[in-house]
Amino acid sequence: NYNDMKNARIIFIEECVSTQEYVRQLIRQEGTVQNLVVVAERQTAGRGRGENRWESEPGQNLLCTLLYPVRQKAETQSYISRAVSLALCDLLMLYAGNYAIKWPNDIMLDGKKVAGILIEHQVSGSSLAYSLIGIGLNVNQEMFPAGLNATSLIHATETKFRIKDILRTLLSCLESRLYLYESQKWKELDESYHRHLLGYQQQCRFVNHSNIEFEAMVKGVDEFGRIILEHDGSTHLYDLNEVHMKL
């Protein structure tokens, strides 16, 4: 079992460029890959996918990266993303009701973004050597920049949380879901993921990389993490950089 999250080494830091960059530096310095979690109060360049910036008030949210040493075939990497998405759903289920996974890597609560996931994989030959699992979860932040469709746990529950408590719960949820990944329970992960997938088997609006809007039926997500859309009389596969869902 690679994912001994309960005994992971946890490093709390006040500020860094990004927790993923911090972990990458540690790997370069120490040369070892072990279960490790880096938690920051503030990231000066916390990023989402591509060039997206993560907007976070210092000390109010959970910003962390987990170093996950894993020995599985590289083509299974999209199931790590599923396991992490489901772990966040498991955590939200303890406090709130109306949550969903928005493909490819956002977690929604009451129709607004409550968390984002950014995973980078290090491949060695045909296997994964390790994954850097970056998670940003809005916890105690009450105000968000205008135009940002975001929410937080405090919004949904009217309760203030201790970040360390949320981290402990998240690590427990991650351990359970990553165990399914390590046990190669692809079907179970797949079915749970689709149960929580926003817009599954529904008509939704999408925007492609040429900024053209279109409507499509969401048929699911394949084993490589591509979304399966039905439009204009046929089925199409899209990678995460090719389309995004419009809410």
pLDDT in tens, the chain (247 residues): 556 777 889 999 999 999 999 999 999 998 878 889 999 998 887 555 554 555 677 889 999 999 999 889 999 999 999 999 999 999 999 998 899 999 999 999 999 999 999 999 999 999 999 999 999 999 999 998 888 899 999 999 999 999 999 999 999 999 999 999 999 999 999 999 999 999 999 999 999 999 999 999 999 999 999 999 999 999 999 998 999 999 8
pTM reported for the whole predicted model:
0.94
HSE (side-chain half, CA atoms, 13 Å) at 188: 11
Residue pair 23/65 in contact by the 8 Å Cβ criterion:
yes
